Amino acid sequence: MNMDSNTSSSSPWAEPSERKGALAGVRVVDLSRVLAGPLCTQMLADHGADVIKIEPPFGDESRLLGPPFDTNGNAAYYSALNRGKRGMVLDLTKEQDRLELFALLEDADVLVENFLPGTMEKWGLSYEEQLQVRFPRLIQCSISGFGATGPLGGLPGYDAVLQAMCGLMSINGTPDSGPTKIGVPIVDHLTGYTAFSGILMALYSRAASGKGQRVEAVLFDAALSLLVPQAINWMYSGVPPKRLGSAHPNIAPYDSFKAKDGSVFLGILNDAQFKKLCVCIDRQDLLAHSQFASNASRLENREALHREIESTFASWTREDLCTQLMQRGVPVGPVNTVPEALQQSHARHRNMVVEHAEYRGLGSPVKLCGTPPDTGAPPPLFGEHDTQIKEQIAHRSQKKN
């Protein structure tokens, strides 16, 4: 996006013609590590942004979060979050390395970092006082656990800790299991998407104003925003949400049910779908019961309804049940394992399984028809592009002088 006249082949940035996608020409310096930040910048790279991943001398911790490890010795975890980027090593505690960062920022559009609040300021890299003054078009995205201010401002935050603090664990699990962590780092994931959307809005705003701004993506905020509908239920009723296993607090039947050869998840949202269900499984008798006449009554009698449905599902295979119901417009699906989920033919049809040479990964869920994502480039090795980028920085500096 910084298509100024002094961009040349000596620039550390790729020419826009070398990148494809909606964000071709956008230049991103990625100082982030582990999950939320790298996920955000990987999505930017998938859609054409030139992302330079800056790692400290000890590297991104996710390189070590294995097994399993890839053939280069990096944890698969790291590979899941860093494809399509170029990599270099800088020690930002050192002045010379900070000067190299400044050289990158001269033509950068976006800087992404997830240090503890105050770290950038300690290094003389405050956005408001230094970076914005020097690079007025620069957008900085700061990702943190709690933000920089307030009662918890500046404290470290991790996904599972935020799941616990923000009530997510309290509504996950069964009455017998106790509070349970959600099986994926959902707070980190949502924060990565929050950062991604915030950066895109800031780029759109800059197109009109010419000015960059700071984007904040905070795990605490993202975690609380996930409490739909449980939070609003409590706000209106005063009744604290309970653990319901796979069931829904506001809808029935909306739960997992055992079939002949495994479990399925049935999602009934309205009376018309409930009628289709009863007709398809030959349980029209359920329609005659006043206790199942509406969603409110079904919710009140959810346990009795669950027993009736499950007793009927026991004679059906998962495949037959899902095929028959889905063809009639009743939402239902098998409760798959992770391998089963990825081996679905539709997962490949939607390009959600990526396999290129030795690289394996998940596809981009953000799809644009005119400028589709490119998920083929492997993640960088540690410091892989150090020499290339530093030589280009030095060459450009000589030309300026």
Tell me the residue ranges of DSSP E strands in 101-168. Answer: 110-113, 139-144
Please write the tens of the pLDDT for every residue from 346-387: 999 999 999 988 899 999 999 999 999 998 789 999 999 999
Q: What residue spans of 109-262 are helical by DSSP H?
A: 119-122, 132-134, 159-165, 186-209, 219-225, 230-237
Band of residue 44 on the pLDDT scale cut at 50, 70, 90: very high
- Out of 3.40.1360.10, 3.10.300.10, 3.40.50.10540, 3.10.20.30, which CATH number does the structure's domain 16-225+353-400 have? 3.40.50.10540
Is 307 a residue whose pLDDT tops 50? Answer: yes
Q: What is the mean pLDDT of residues 103-110?
A: 97
pLDDT the model gives residue 168: 98
Is 5 a residue whose pLDDT tops 50? Answer: no
Is 3 a residue whose pLDDT tops 60? Answer: no
pLDDT the model gives residue 349: 97
Q: Sign (positive/negative) of CA torsion 336, 341, 343, 344? A: positive
Band of residue 264 on the pLDDT scale cut at 50, 70, 90: very high
Is 185 a residue whose pLDDT tops 60? Answer: yes
DSSP-assigned states of every residue in 277-309 = HHHHTT-GGGGG-GGGSSHHHHHHTHHHHHHHH
Active site residues: 188
Max Cα–Cα distance, the chain, nearest Å: 87
Domain residue ranges of the chain, discontinuous segments joined by + = 16-225+353-400, 254-337
386-400 helix and 95-105 helix, angle to the nearest 10 degrees = 80
Band of residue 6 on the pLDDT scale cut at 50, 70, 90: very low
Look up the CATH number of domain 254-337. 3.30.1540.10
Please write the tens of the pLDDT for every residue from 50-82: 999 999 999 999 999 999 999 999 999 999 999
Q: Are 89 and 57 in contact (CB under 8 A)?
A: yes
Is 4 a residue whose pLDDT tops 50? Answer: no
pLDDT the model gives residue 2: 58
pLDDT the model gives residue 18: 80
**Alpha carbon distance 342, 308 (integer Å):** 32
Torsion, Cα of 126, 127, 133, 134 (10° steps): 80
Is 158 a residue whose pLDDT tops 50? Answer: yes
pTM over 0.85: yes
**Residue 3 phi, psi (nearest 5):** -85, 55
pLDDT the model gives residue 1: 65
Average pLDDT, the chain: 95
pLDDT the model gives residue 9: 57
Q: What is the mean pLDDT of residues 282-288?
A: 96
Q: Are 109 and 26 in contact (CB under 8 A)?
A: yes
Determine the residue type at 314: A
User: Any residues with CB less than 8 A from the CB of 326 and at least 6 apart, and which?
Assistant: 332
HEC assignment per residue over 199-220: HHHHHHHHHHHCCCCEEEEEHH
Quick one: 313 exposed, middle or buried, by C-beta within 10 A (0-12, 13-18, 19+)?
Answer: buried
Is 7 a residue whose pLDDT tops 60? Answer: no
pLDDT the model gives residue 189: 98
